[in-house]
Amino acid sequence: MSRFVKLPLKIPEGIKVNIKEGNIKVEGPKGKMEYTHSSKVNVVMEDKTIKITAKEIIDTPVSGTTKSLINNMFIGVTKGYEKTLVIEGQGYRAALENNKLSMVLGFAKPVVFAPPAGIKFEVPAPQRIVISGIDKALVGKTSAEVRAARPPEPYKGKGVAYVGEYIRRKAGKKAVGGGYGSGATS
């Protein structure tokens, strides 16, 4: 069995956990989350810890995933998650209009995103977007959808990228001999 799964998961202060018939409810200062775990694992709450065990040895990876998802719920309801995106390109910018994210990305019309339930958009600067929420998967999915509106292109780097993302740059066209006046004979 994995060493990660063998250790019990400690419940942080200020969090209420309720486990009933495969359903885990977590409530904290930032909100409430709910998760239904696989029937291949047992989740038991003892004192201030949660113990996760696989019903069969082959199901150990499922128990590790379950433990990580429950831990992500704890972090989400206490601290929350956020992803920051940067917009590169001349004239490219973002703004909030009626809680919707509106981005000018070189298309004929602005690209508008309505936030899903539990997600908050912030635009501290015209070239910076902050996406935050308590659900790690939903924050990641929403930021990926916003980035997909205009992913960074490899020649000039224009588009929407994550902060700190490395964009592999390509060399543009270069003038090479062989044309008129280059000394080539016909």
pLDDT of amino acid 181: 58
Neighbour tally for 78: CB within 10 Å: 16
pLDDT of amino acid 185: 57
- Rounded CA-CA distance 143/66 in Å is 24
Q: What's the one-letter identity of residue 25?
A: K
What does the buried/exposed string (b/e) look like for 133-142 if buried means 16 or more CB atoms within 10 Å of the residue's CB? bbbbebbeeb
- Rounded CA-CA distance 45/23 in Å is 12
Question: Alpha carbon of 50 to those of 3, 45, 146, 173: distances in Å?
Answer: 15, 4, 36, 59
pLDDT of amino acid 180: 63
Name the strand (E) or helix (H) holding 147. Answer: helix 136-148
Closest by CA position to 132, among listed 141, 122, 123, 124: 122
Q: What's the one-letter identity of residue 115?
A: P
As given in the structure block, the two tokens for residue 116 are 């899903």
pTM, rounded to two decimals: 0.84
Locus of tokens 């995106």: 85
For each of the domains in the chain, give its residue range(s) and CATH number, in order of start: 3-78 (3.90.930.12), 81-162 (3.90.930.12)
**6: three-class secondary structure by DSSP:** helix
Which phi and psi (to 5°) does residue 19 adopt? -120, 120
End-to-end Cα distance, the chain: 74
What does the buried/exposed string (b/e) look like for 13-38 if buried means 16 or more CB atoms within 10 Å of the residue's CB? eeeebeeeeeebebebebeebeeebe
Per-residue tens of pLDDT for the chain, all 186 residues: 467 778 899 999 999 999 998 899 999 999 999 999 999 999 999 889 999 988 888 888 898 899 999 999 999 999 999 999 999 999 999 999 999 999 999 999 999 999 999 999 999 999 999 999 999 999 999 999 999 999 999 998 899 999 999 988 888 887 666 556 555 555
pLDDT of amino acid 157: 87
Residues 111, 105: contact at Cβ < 8 Å? yes
